[in-house]
Amino acid sequence: MRKNGIQDWLMNKKIKIGLDLDGVIIDHTLNKIRLAKQCGYFLKTQQTSSEIVEKIVPPDIKRFIQKGIYGQVGLSSGPMKNSKKMLKKITETFSVPYIISRRDYKHNQRKFALEWLKNNHFFPPLKRNRILFAKSEPSKNNVCKKLNINIYLDDKIEVLNNLRSVKYKVLFDPYCHRYKNPPKNIKVVKTWLEFYKYLQ
């Protein structure tokens, strides 16, 4: 094996990448705005991250929006900009990432997630046996620990803070809510291209 080949092999063996699905690969921005508007709340694009939405709408409206984007309505959501292109490069450069998403069995949430990935042609670069679902956001840490994930990308700070087993935590923040003052232990990226460069 050539020297570069050995280095590539060692890199692929070392790096195990975990990714969130909703708000990272699937862009629910427009559907969140539409669903909130049905309930009398008018969200701006930069207000659609989960942490901001829950400060604007009451819990029952938040659940209504979440149920919609995790269900039939979510199938009309588009991919996050450059997500497919960068995932292809990630699988070619490193390895096929694991998708670790919190979706319930109720209302076919997991079925709709897989259907969205299929409809939007994410198989490949992703593999079905690397699409995993956690019962709750805190339980993502158990999944990451079992898989020895050492880099994880999520759009929620509280999820990243709970990933005690993950060494490198990356916050996906396309609307720059926390970009100027990122937590010390969390890398913040605004785009998929930034995430890919960080991996390199």
| Tokens (6 digits) for 8 | 């590539």
Categorise residue 131: left if φ over 0, alpha if ψ from -120 to 50, beta otherwise: beta
- pLDDT tens for residues 17-64? 999 999 999 999 999 999 999 999 999 999 998 888 989 999 999 999
Write down the pLDDT at residue 178.
Answer: 60
- Split at pLDDT 50, 70, 90, the class of 104 is confident
The H helix count followed by the E strand count for the chain is 9, 8
**Domains annotated on the chain, with CATH:** 3-26+79-199 (3.40.50.1000), 30-76 (no CATH)
Cα(151)–Cα(169) distance, rounded to whole angstroms?
Answer: 6
Structure tokens at 162: 């709970």
Q: Which residue has the tokens 């291209």?
A: 193
Q: Do 122 and 85 contact (CB within 8 A), yes or no?
A: no
Sign of the C-alpha dihedral computed for residues 16, 21, 26 and 29 taken in this order: negative
The pLDDT mean for the chain works out to 90
- Rounded Cα distance, 191 and 167, in Å: 21
Quick check: 81 and 27 in contact, CB under 8 A? yes
Q: Which of 172, 132, 173, 166 is nearest to 149 (CA)?
A: 166
Least confident window among 13-22, 60-69, 90-99: 13-22
Token pair listed for 57: 């709408």
Q: Residue 110 pLDDT more than 50? A: yes
